[in-house]
Chains A and B, each alone.
Chain A
Amino acid sequence: QKEVEQNSGPLSVPEGAIASLNCTYSDRVSQSFFWYRQYSGKSPELIMSIYSNGDKEDGRFTAQLNKASQYVSLLIRDSQPSDSATYLCAGMEYGNKLVFGAGTILRVKS
């Protein structure tokens, strides 16, 4: 099993809908998780971090962590075409190294 796994997509949602991005992780990754957004040709931009079980909300974004299921997700409400990007899930490995998933391509159609 890879340390951090994501469905590569693309995930297509209509404008205004909720986009749901999912990620699973292995035991090698610690309890700190991050969601980054990466536009084509650009570097990753931090969207959310989550450390505790449950939900964490920031504007249109909600991160969810379920440690028992080793599952972390990102919900984007009221999706906009400008949200179209690759979303990278990352977990913290021993030594404070980030381990990235392959990324999920999100396409928001107007």
Chain B
Amino acid sequence: GAVVSQHPSRVICKSGTSVKIECRSLDFQATTMFWYRQFPKQSLMLMATSNEGSKATYEQGVEKDKFLINHASLTLSTLTVTSAHPEDSSFYICSARDELVVETQYFGPGTRLLVL
């Protein structure tokens, strides 16, 4: 149990385009999902908390208009990187909180984004 999927696993795009990343909890419902970013040889940095049916909560320094988050159902959250630039190239990882296992977050496999 507690499987989280992400799609796509890898994406290469041109500068200025938008990229959408999906995060799904496959066998449990998640009212809360989290989006992280990880640069090489660094730890995970929380970008935003995604809440089903309401607006996401962004961490300080994260542009909400650039990183659009939608959490339309209890099993799906999406992150859209708008007008991507090379500095947005990173490893984006989502996690989902299993409401039945208090406070435990399960991570998706991650999406590696390369902006040319």
If A88-B43, A97-B49, A101-B43 touch, whether A43 touches B107 (CB-CB below 8 Å) is: yes
**How many residues in A have their beta carbons less than 8 Å from beta carbons of B?**
20
Contact A45 B104 (CB under 8 A): no
Distance in Å: Cβ of B28 to nearest Cβ of chain A? 14
Beta-carbon nearest neighbor of A33 in chain B: B103
Do B97 and A43 touch (CB < 8 A)? no
| Inter-chain contact A44/B93, CB cutoff 8 Å | yes
| 4 nearest A-B residue pairs (beta carbon) | A43-B110, A43-B107, A43-B93, A102-B43
Whole-angstrom distance between the Cβ of A97 and the nearest chain B Cβ: 6
Residue of A nearest to B57 (CB): A95
Contact between chains at A98 and B105 (CB < 8 Å): yes
Report the Cα distance A102→B108, complex, angstroms. 19
Q: Which residues of B contact A34 (CB under 8 A)?
A: 104-105
How far apart are the CA atoms of A46 and B34 in the complex, in Å? 15
Q: Are B110 and A42 in contact (CB under 8 A)?
A: yes
Among B32, B42, B44, B107, find the residue whose CB has the most chain A CB atoms closer than 10 A: B44
Query: Chain B at the A interface: mostly helix, strand, loop or mixed?
Result: strand
Known A96-B97, A96-B103; 8 more pairs at CB < 8 Å = A42-B109, A43-B91, A46-B104, A49-B103, A95-B49, A98-B34, A98-B46, A99-B46
Give the A-binding residues of B (Cβ under 8 A): 32, 34, 42-44, 46, 49, 57, 91, 93, 95, 97, 103-110
With a cutoff of 8 Å between Cβ atoms, the chain A residues found around residue B106 in the complex are 46
Q: Please report the C-alpha to C-alpha distance between residue A102 and residue B41 in the assembled complex, in whole angstroms.
A: 9
- Pair B43/A92 contact, Cβ less than 8 Å: no
Question: Is the CB–CB distance between A32 and B93 below 8 Å?
Answer: no
Q: A97–B46 contact, CB under 8 A? A: yes
12 A–B pairs (Cβ distance < 8 Å), ordered by A: A43-B107, A44-B44, A44-B107, A46-B105, A88-B43, A95-B49, A96-B103, A98-B105, A99-B46, A100-B44, A102-B42, A103-B43
Q: How many whole Å from A16's CB to the nearest CB in chain B?
A: 29
Contact of B103 among A32, A100, A103 (CB under 8 A): A32
Name which residue of chain A comes closest to B45, CB basis. Answer: A100
Counting chain B CB atoms within 10 Å of each CB, which of A34, A36, A43, A96 scores highest?
A43
